[in-house]
Amino acid sequence: MSATFDKVADIIAETCDIPRENIKPESHAINDLEIDSLDFLDIAFAIDKTFGIKLPLEQWTQEVNDGKATTDQYFVLQNLSDQIDKLIAAKGA
Amino acid sequence: MRFEYFQMIDRIVALDLGTRTVRSVCSVPQESTIFEGHFPSYPLMPGVLLLECMAQTCGWLVTSLNGFTAMPFLAGVKEAKFRTAVHPGDHLEFEGKVVHEGSGYAVAECRGRRQEQAVCDAQITFRVMSFPSPEFRKALVEWAERIEVPVKELIK
């Protein structure tokens, strides 16, 4: 498990009051953890602050709505963590 | 302040996009049907309306930051505190700051004062979305001009 995933899982546990042990890399934030869009705003805020990035939620939503991406690509937590790592790397480049 | 139209802010007196801060003023009306119920013989401005003052103050800032290209909708409130009673005729001032501009959302902090006395404060989250229609945007721009938001300098 990556350090990024651990931080994301801690944020979700604290923000949504979900037991930490229930949050796994393969968990889907919406389908498995039942996080709604309003709670996800709080999570996005905490992730943006923690990692110094800006999650491109509008772009991701558009891609999903247009059928160019699946929610799994962004909301399965390991994939979300990988996206965060890419954004961190892009920021430092 | 026009309760019946939910237009809480009388005037934007300072707006700084660099520091992402805003200051607004408003006067609580002397008379309103709201005071007949809240409360009979003891009129108090409801805390939810103070919250709306804070949301509108910061909302104008969010809209100004995006050049009137998108509309902030109230999505969440944290740590709201109402520290003292507000009465008809009181003059209030609100100071807001956007602490984070996310993708499709913004988070702001706001506090209200009566002279130097703290009245209320809160952290407010907005969803920032496209205007539902050109008419909506036009009405909002006209409203902004009425309360002295420097729209012409901001609009994209």
Q: Where are the alpha helices (DSSP H) in A34-76?
A: 37-51, 57-65, 71-75
User: Which residue type, as a one-letter code, is found at position B154?
Assistant: L
Res. B31 pLDDT band, cuts 50 70 90: very high
- Find the CB nearest B100 among A45, A56, A61: A45
Say what the pLDDT of residue A93 is: 73
Whether residue B156 is contained in a domain is answered as no
**A41, A60, A65, best to mutate vs chain B, most B CBs in 10 Å:** A41
- On the question of pLDDT at A39 being above 90, the answer is yes
Closest residue of A to B102, CA-based? A54
> What residue ranges do the domains of chain A occupy?
3-92
- Find the CB nearest B102 among A38, A48, A61: A48
Q: How large a percentage of chain A has pLDDT more than 90? A: 94
Please state the domain count of chain B. 1
Residue A88: strand, helix, or coil: helix
Question: What is the domain range of residue B110?
Answer: 3-151
The tokens of A77 are what? 């937590």
Q: Kindly state the DSSP code that residue B128 receives in the 8-state scheme.
A: E
Give buried/exposed letters for B56-86 (b at 16+ CB in 10 A, else e). Answer: bbbbbbbbbbeebebbbebbbeeebebeeeb
- Compute the mean pLDDT over every residue in chain B, rounded to the nearest whole number: 96
Residues 6+ apart with CB under 8 A from A45: B100, B102, B105, B107, B125
- On the question of pLDDT at B21 being above 90, the answer is yes
Q: What is the pLDDT of residues B37-50, one digit of tens each?
A: 999 999 999 999 99
Quick check: B102 and A38 CB within 8 A? no
Fold adopted by A3-92: 1.10.1200
Whether residue B76 is contained in a domain is answered as yes
What CA–CA distance (Å, rounded) separates A89 from B105? Answer: 23
Q: What is the pLDDT of residues B47-64, one digit of tens each?
A: 999 999 999 999 999 999
Say what the pLDDT of residue B156 is: 81
- Binding-site residues on chain B for chain A (CB distance < 8 A): 75-76, 100-105, 107, 125, 127
The tokens of A55 are what? 């999650």
- On the question of pLDDT at A34 being above 70, the answer is yes
Q: In this structure, what CATH number is given to the domain that contains residue B94? A: 3.10.129.10
Say what the pLDDT of residue B122 is: 98
Q: Which of B147, B140, B142, B125 is nearest to B70 (CA)?
A: B140
Say what the pLDDT of residue A1 is: 65
Q: How large a percentage of chain B has pLDDT more than 70? A: 100
Whether residue B79 is contained in a domain is answered as yes
Sign of the C-alpha dihedral computed for residues B54, B19, A44 and A11 taken in this order: negative
Quick check: A57 and B75 CB within 8 A? no
Say what the pLDDT of residue A41 is: 94
From A24's Cα to the closest Cα of chain B, the distance in A is: 25
From B103's Cα to the closest Cα of chain A, the distance in A is: 5
Q: Which of A12, A57, A87 is nearest to B103 (CA)?
A: A57
Q: What is the pLDDT of residues B63-96, one digit of tens each?
A: 999 999 999 999 999 999 999 999 999 999 999 9
Closest residue of B to A60, CA-based? B103
